[in-house]
Amino acid sequence: MRNDLVAEIRTRALWIRRRSFQMVYEAQQGHPGGDFSAADILATLYFGVMRYDPANARDPGRDRFVMSKGHCTGAFYAVLAAAGYFPEADLKTYMKPQSLLNGHPNRNYLPGVETNTGPLGHGLPVATGIAIAGQIDNADFRTFVLTGDGELQEGSNWEAALTAGHRKLENLTLIIDRNRLQQGARTEDTASLDPLDDKWRAFGWHVEVVDGHDHQQLLDVLTTSPKGRGKPLCIVANTFKGKGVSFMHDNVAWHHGVPNKEQYEQAMRELV
Amino acid sequence: MSAAAPSKSGLFDCRDSFATTIEALAEADPRIVTVVSDSVGSSKLGGFRTKFPDRMVNVGIAEQTLVAVGAGLANGGKVPFVSAASCFITGRALEQVKADIAYSNVNVKLIGQSSGVAYGELGPTHHSIEDLAWLRLFNNMKLIVPADPWQTAEAIKAAAVYEGPVFVRVSRMAVPVLERPEGAVFEIGKAETLIQGTDATIIANGTMVHRAIAAAKALSAEGVAARVVNMATVNPLDEAAIAAAAETGAIVTVEEHSVRGGLGGAVAEMVSTTNPVPMRILGFPGFVPTGSAEWLFDHFGLNETGIAEAVRQTIARKK
């Protein structure tokens, strides 16, 4: 059963990569490098971990997912469509005039989006507030937030890290897409983050470091009950920007690069 | 009246009215929570903390997270009243107000405390005379500037039942209770005419309303009939501004805010596109010197004498 689940997640992650790259190719805009580093995390969350009902998207008991790295809408919209929040056909409108699929996610347009993101450093503070609401009500929903690593250079994250640690928000899980690349260069050459795991421990968080492309590892760490731990959970998911396509792998040029026809076709040949 | 007792001078601190009202509302509605940034005392929420310790979230001195946590609490089904010094809850967290509250269109109430130049002596870092200009840019956010303790209480009650983002600007300056007709009600977006008049209209809000009334009374003794409109809601603006332009032909606005982008700016935008008339916008020119709020009001003509003179000059410009 577990093997079946991992196989399904793997299939979903591959589809997210292919579909999001098609979106970027058709729109000639987007952030495919980050879409690919996050694809396995998103597939694991939506098809192996979270509790949600697209037909009742604002169900108070739902698990929440906050996409803090809101520029990676290719992968995010693809997973939302795959999860059933809206028809896959709508993905064709990505970034077109009056599309509901804006370059950054909008909760008022699109079911499944919990808060509007795009500017960096917003997701964790909002997710902290959601988790506090759950804590006050002793509710059993979990709140997950996915940030980039470069995004942690925004100070607002560390304000929230203090509050979440102080309030022992065990219902809050932060996943850091640690691909070590930001828009212009490597994170460690820009404003270095290491030792990243120790930083979170110092803020009162429980930290797990995993291979962010290993579905079994992701599934194990995300499905382990956080109850009784008394700490928020930070998962440092080591990933590669452009993971899955040879010429994009760990290549900063693909932060918001767009493919030409040959690149698109080569990527599709590799993503099988 | 849910406001606290007045001081010996008969004047009120509207923060007391906020505090007693939010406590009463929280008794009836378990969804109501408060969010503060080490601002329990300055928000007068000590009583709330005692009564509802589990429903106050103190994020510490961290305004960006203060505002964002408010958005998250609303997502979790709460009705959060996020309260801190107006200069910080708006300016320091402006992008959170934009993205997390206004653009996300969530059910959060931002309470800007000690607004205007209440912290006069502390200097422009602590003055909040830009807050309305910043927030006016968010078209879906209701902006309310109550003038006295009754209106503060009513504004908080209205914010609690309105579904969507609201900013209530609360002063700590001593103000009197305004005289109102029996049965007066507060409604978001509705101005109240406190004095009738035909020669000019003074449109004021917040701490300036009772000063506008004093100016109108002084003018009345000279035979000048100045109307006084309390425009507590800056967004959406009441069409009373257009009516005043048409009926009295001269408008003076008065606010404890910069002359750029506040109440006067809002009225000017509306009137200039409908029925342009001579206007004066009274407020602060920008960064102001250090001094007590009362000193600053006098220095910049935000008092009975200054308002009355502005009305005379504006009437003189009528064609």
How far from chain centre, in Å, is Cα B37? 21
Cα distances (Å, whole numbers) of residue B249 to A130, B233, B279: 51, 22, 9
Contact (CB<8Å) B69/A129: yes
* Minimal C-alpha gap between B68 and chain A (Å): 5
At residue B8 the predicted structure's pLDDT band, cuts being 50, 70 and 90, is low
Amino acid (1-letter code) at residue B188: I
Q: Is the minimum CB–CB distance between A113 and chain B shorter than 8 Å?
A: no
Task: Report the residue from A129, A155, A163 with minimal CB separation from B70.
Answer: A129
Lowest mean per-residue pLDDT among A62-76, B174-188, B248-262: B174-188
Q: Using an 8 Å CB-CB cutoff, list chain B residues near A57.
A: none
* Burial status of residue B93 (CB atoms within 10 A of its CB: 0-12, 13-18, 19 or more): buried
Identify the pLDDT of residue B87.
96
Rounded to whole angstroms, the Cα distance separating A261 from A194 reads 38
The minimum CA-CA distance between A131 and chain B, rounded to whole Å, is 8
Exposed, middle or buried: residue A87 (CB in 10 Å: 0-12, 13-18, 19+)?
exposed
Give the gap in angstroms from C-alpha B167 to the nearest C-alpha of chain A: 19
Asked if the Cβ–Cβ distance from A136 to B72 is below 8 Å, we say: no
Query: What pLDDT does B210 receive?
Result: 97
Asked if B58 and A163 count as a contact pair (C-beta separation under 8 A), the reply is no
> Which pLDDT band holds residue B1 (cuts at 50, 70, 90)?
very low
Euclidean distance between CA atoms B117 and B291, whole angstroms: 9
Rounded (5°) CA angle B105-B111-B115: 130
Task: Render pLDDT for B102-115 as a digit per residue (tens, 0 to 9).
Answer: 999 999 999 999 99
∠ Cα B308 B312 B316 (to 5°) = 165
Element (H, E) at A23: helix A2-27
CB spacing of A137 vs B54 below 8 angstroms: no
CB distance from B53 to chain A under 8 Å? no
Q: How confident is the model at residue B256 (pLDDT cuts 50, 70, 90)?
A: very high
pLDDT along chain A (272 residues), means of 10: 89 98 96 96 98 97 98 97 98 95 95 97 98 98 98 98 98 98 94 98 98 98 95 98 96 92 97 96
pLDDT for the residue numbered B2: 39
pLDDT at residue B3 is higher than 60: no
Per-residue pLDDT at B154 exceeds 80:
yes
CA distance B228 to A257: 59
- The neighbouring-strand residues paired with B13 are B174
From A106, A108, A136, residue closest to B54, measured CB to CB: A136
Tell me, what's the pLDDT at B10? 86
A46 to chain B, closest Cα gap in Å: 19
* pLDDT score recorded for residue B301: 98
Asked if the model's pLDDT at residue B309 lies above 60, the reply is: yes
A130, B72: Cβ pair inside 8 Å?
yes
Nearest chain B residue to A128 by CA distance is B69
Q: Which amino acid is at B282?
A: L
Alpha carbon distances (Å) from B34 to A123, B79, B163 = 21, 8, 17
Which residues in chain A have their CB less than 8 angstroms from residue B54's CB?
136
Closest-CA distance, A132 to chain B, in angstroms, reads: 7
> So what's the pLDDT on residue B181?
85
Quick one: pLDDT band at residue B257, thresholds 50, 70, 90? very high
CB B16 within 8 Å of CB B23: no
Query: Cβ contacts of residue B41 below 8 Å, gap of 6+?
Result: none
Does the predicted interface ipTM exceed a cut of 0.90?
Answer: yes
What pLDDT is attached to residue B4? 46
Q: What letter does residue A49 receive in the DSSP assignment?
A: I
Give me the residue label for tokens 């946590």. Answer: B69
DSSP per-residue codes, A172-193 = EEEEEEE-SB-SSSBHHHHS--
Give the residue from chain B lying closest to A63, CA to CA: B76
> Is the CB of residue A142 less than 8 Å from the CB of residue A173?
yes
- How many angstroms separate the CA atoms of A148 and A188, rounded? 14
What's the confidence (pLDDT) of residue B319? 82
d(CA B167, CA B70): 13
pLDDT tens-digit series, residues B57-100: 999 999 999 999 999 999 999 999 999 999 999 999 999 999 99
